[in-house]
Amino acid sequence: MITKRGAAALFAGVLVAGGALAHGGATGIVKERMDAMSAIGDQMKIIGQMLKGGSVDEARLSAAAGVIAGHGGDALIKLFPEGSLDKPTEATPAIWTDWTKFEAYAGDLQASALTLKDLADDGAGTQELSAAFGTLAGTCKDCHESFRVKK
């Protein structure tokens, strides 16, 4: 039988291993953008948990969405100089052959994060916030499907 504490330790181990694998030896701009993406992912988790739990802290949600917006748009595309495909990147060369689309997704990410932030600032209800969160999450999925190596 696995004790509660044992299970928690196991889970923590999985998280650490997953992180180490994902970043495995990344340096320079590739590491920078992986770190930025991880930061975005962390904020998404915070927001998702709040919405799922049904107890929304508007200020916290607004701040999290603001951090995501800050990583979108120009800040994001600056992390993808042409041909930056050093291992262990999961970026695909299609980014630079379809740059306009990539740029548009980076813009969508920022715009939808700002929409969510504005809603939180205006004290919108959980339903409205969840819908905006869904739109935001859709931008992650769209871009990853087109421009990130499939696992």
Binding site residues, ligand HEC, CB under 6 A: 22-23, 30, 33-34, 37-38, 40-41, 44, 68, 76, 89-91, 102, 105-106, 109, 136, 139-140, 143-144, 147-148
Considering the complex, state which of residue 102 and residue 124 has its C-beta at the smaller distance from ligand HEC: 102
Q: Provide, rounded to whole angstroms, the least separation between the CB of residue 47 and ligand HEC.
A: 9
Distance CA 87, CA 33 (A): 13
What the block records as the tokens of 103 is: 């740029």
Distance (Å, whole) CA 133 – CA 127: 10
Q: Which is nearer to ligand HEC, 109 or 129 (CB)?
A: 109
Least distance CB 2 / ligand HEC (angstroms): 28
**Long-range CB contacts (within 8 A, 24+) of 113-116:** 113/65, 113/66, 113/68, 113/69, 113/72, 114/65, 114/69, 116/47, 116/61, 116/65
SS3 135: helix
Tokens of 87: 């291992």
Shortest Å distance, C-beta 138 to ligand HEC: 9
Q: Please identify, using beta-carbon distances, which residue of 3 and 97 lies nearer to ligand HEC.
A: 97
Nearest approach in angstroms of CB 144 to ligand HEC is 6
Residue whose CB is less far from ligand HEC, 90 or 121 = 90
